[in-house]
Amino acid sequence: MSTAESFSAPGFDLPAFEEWLTMRTPGQTEFHQAVLELLHDIEPLLQERAEYRIQNVMQRLAEPDRIISFRITWVDDEGQVQVNRGWRVQHSGVIGPYKGGIRFHPTVSESVLKFLAFEQTFKNALTGLAMGGGKGGSDFDPRGRSDGEIMRFCQGFMRELHRHIGATTDIPAGDINVGSREIGYLFGEYRRLANHFDGTLTGKNLEFGGSHVRLEATGFGLVYFLQEMLKAAGESLEGKQVLVSGAGNVALHAARKVAELGGKVVSLSSSEGTLFVQDGFGTADVDQLLHGELRSGAALRALAEQGRGEWLAKQTPWSLPCQIALPCATQNELEDGDAQTLASQGCRFVAEGANMPCTAAALRVFEDAGIRHAPGKASNAGGVALSGLEMHQNASFISLPYDELDVQLRAIMQRIHEKCVEHGSQNDGFIHYRRGANIAGFEHVAKALIAQGIG
């Protein structure tokens, strides 16, 4: 079962591969989910092209290039020594240096980072920029931690990570609970340890090598992609009711752009509940959330206490009526029951701001209901695309103006949309975005992998 032969001739044996994957990486359910989602869409290619089977491309991609795991020790405000675990998963370096975010969250595990790094490889390929796929993080929970504790933790994390990264080796960035503050602390420690200043992290502040539009890029890029989806269906955002989940970087910038373009965002959420605003969040509401001191859940509750909307404690947004849903919080936040409710209430477009926010069963519901669904590897690629542009600027010691980068972001999202249409259009006119993105991303990575020989 573990030999390449099982998957090479005469055709690709999908059940055997699934068995191999689950036996080889027991319990890594998120990783299995991401691999199998891609695999189901590209199976016809594997059946058709003997080269992919002989080269054993799928098994090679189901095994990251390397995984670094390490202990982080740091001292909390009470003088107590704390211990956490950190990882960097360098999934594939065939189309460029490893590139992907860092996540700090108690749910972070090797499985979660492997799924994120796997997704990142194909997402980065879709951007058309020279970036391989990686992801890192820690099970550190920043909730309730002081600024000093966050700084010491970031420094402890970088004390180990610094020897594995570099501007042409591996370039981390932010993800859940890693924003500009954390990138600043991580970059400062990297710079001190490496004794040189370069673009080894992206998402930096503008004062030390950051790029305009990087902060906004994932959320704005998501909405640019959504606009293309709507255009392809002969529709527009104007007046549409939109559900957004999350209230972090991606969710708030997506909500800001939707509100700016005339759509009606009626929800934002956190792990504590949902804020429902019937007449829609205005740009001023979103700016208050973006620029306020409070974290997502507390900020939403504060808005509710000011009389802005209704706080639905412990609820997700998915029971509210909408035409468009933008899950922007975390993996598997939208389950099949939610998908059924969305479909029955008139939702027709789903674009993922988060990575893998919909369960496999939810995706089947969308497919059956004819809902147009964009996978994160296509629709949330704007963030890493801007990171790529930050790398370009750092490498040539320049800083491009905001408007120019915003135009480039839109153009990249439009090109990704075109790739999805090219590979995902069906005879009945339906665009299967997930299949399109998976085929386009896989073919790019597979070609580069094969061309570089075995090793």
Positions that interact with ligand NDP (CB under 6 A):
174-177, 179, 218, 246-251, 270-272, 295-297, 328-330, 333, 353-355, 380, 383
Selection from 288, 244, 292, 249 nearest residue 269 by Cα: 244
* 105 versus 372: smaller Cβ distance to ligand NDP: 105
Give the angle 219-284-414 at the CA atoms, nearest 5°.
25
Q: How far is the CB of 409 from ligand 2IT (least distance, A)?
A: 12
273-276 and 310-313 as β-strands: parallel, antiparallel, unpaired?
Answer: antiparallel
- The reply on whether position 101 binds ligand 2IT by CB under 6 A is yes
Q: How far is the CB of 387 from ligand 2IT (least distance, A)?
A: 3
Of 114, 123, 135, 264, which is the active-site residue?
Answer: 135
The residue to which tokens 């199998």 are assigned: 36
Percent helix, strand and coil across the chain, each to the nearest 5? 50, 15, 35
For this structure, is 204 an active site residue?
A: no
Distance of CA 262 to the CA centre of its chain: 25
Q: Are 288 and 268 in contact (CB under 8 A)?
A: no
- The reply on whether position 173 binds ligand 2IT by CB under 6 A is yes
- The reply on whether position 211 binds ligand 2IT by CB under 6 A is no
* 88 versus 99: smaller Cβ distance to ligand 2IT: 99
Q: Are 210 and 216 in contact (CB under 8 A)?
A: no
Partner whose binding site includes residue 295, from ligand NDP, ligand 2IT, none (CB under 5 to 8 Å by kind): ligand NDP
* 8 versus 249: smaller Cβ distance to ligand NDP: 249
Q: Are 339 and 315 in contact (CB under 8 A)?
A: no
Residue nearest to ligand 2IT (CB): 101
264-270 and 241-244 as β-strands: parallel, antiparallel, unpaired?
Answer: parallel
- The reply on whether position 383 binds ligand 2IT by CB under 6 A is yes
- The reply on whether position 8 binds ligand 2IT by CB under 6 A is no
**Does a cis peptide bond (omega within 30 degrees of 0) precede residue 10?**
yes
Does the CA dihedral 402-286-375-420 come out positive or negative? negative
- The reply on whether position 30 binds ligand 2IT by CB under 6 A is no
Q: How far is the CB of 247 from ligand NDP (least distance, A)?
A: 4
Partner whose binding site includes residue 100, from ligand NDP, ligand 2IT, none (CB under 5 to 8 Å by kind): ligand 2IT
Q: How far is the CB of 27 from ligand NDP (least distance, A)?
A: 19
Q: Are 305 and 294 in contact (CB under 8 A)?
A: no
- The reply on whether position 382 binds ligand 2IT by CB under 6 A is no
Give residue 105's identity as a one-letter amino acid code: H
State phi, psi for 202 to the nearest 5 degrees: -115, 165
Q: Which residues in this chain contact ligand 2IT in the complex, by CB under 6 A?
A: 99-101, 120, 123, 173, 175, 202, 355, 383-384, 387
- Which residues are known to be catalytic? 135
